[in-house]
Amino acid sequence: MPTSSSRKSVKSRKSSDAQKQQVNRDDLPNPVWFKPVMFGFMLLGLAWILTFYISSAQLPLGAAFPAVDIKNWNILVGFGIAMVGFVMATRWK
């Protein structure tokens, strides 16, 4: 004669309820500040590179400031700042 399935014990029901209530942090939406900061980094990197080209390598850290003249490394700095924004975009939900 077939046996009926037994009911779950109280302990197993409580543990399954706790598992349902446990939230995965990857599933949570981004905080409010995330999107403006992400786009801010992208625009700041673009502005850095444009300023370098438009000023004929005088600004932001160019020949106008001989103590900190980093020459064409300004392009790398601008791309690095923009890249932070693009990396943040991979985590945007």
Mean pLDDT of 45-68: 92
Q: Is the model's pLDDT at 57 over the cut of 60?
A: yes
pLDDT tens digits, residue range 74-92? Answer: 999 999 999 999 999 999 9
Residues 6+ apart with CB under 8 A from 38: 85, 88, 89, 92
Map out the domains of the chain as residue ranges: 31-89
The runs of H, that is alpha helices, within the chain are 10-21, 34-54, 73-89
| Separation of alpha carbons 77 and 48, rounded Å | 8
Evaluate whether 78 touches 49 at the Cβ level (below 8 Å): yes
pLDDT of the residue at 24: 84
pLDDT tens digits, residue range 8-40? Answer: 665 555 555 556 678 788 788 999 999 999 999
Q: Is the model's pLDDT at 2 over the cut of 80?
A: no
| Separation of alpha carbons 64 and 51, rounded Å | 13
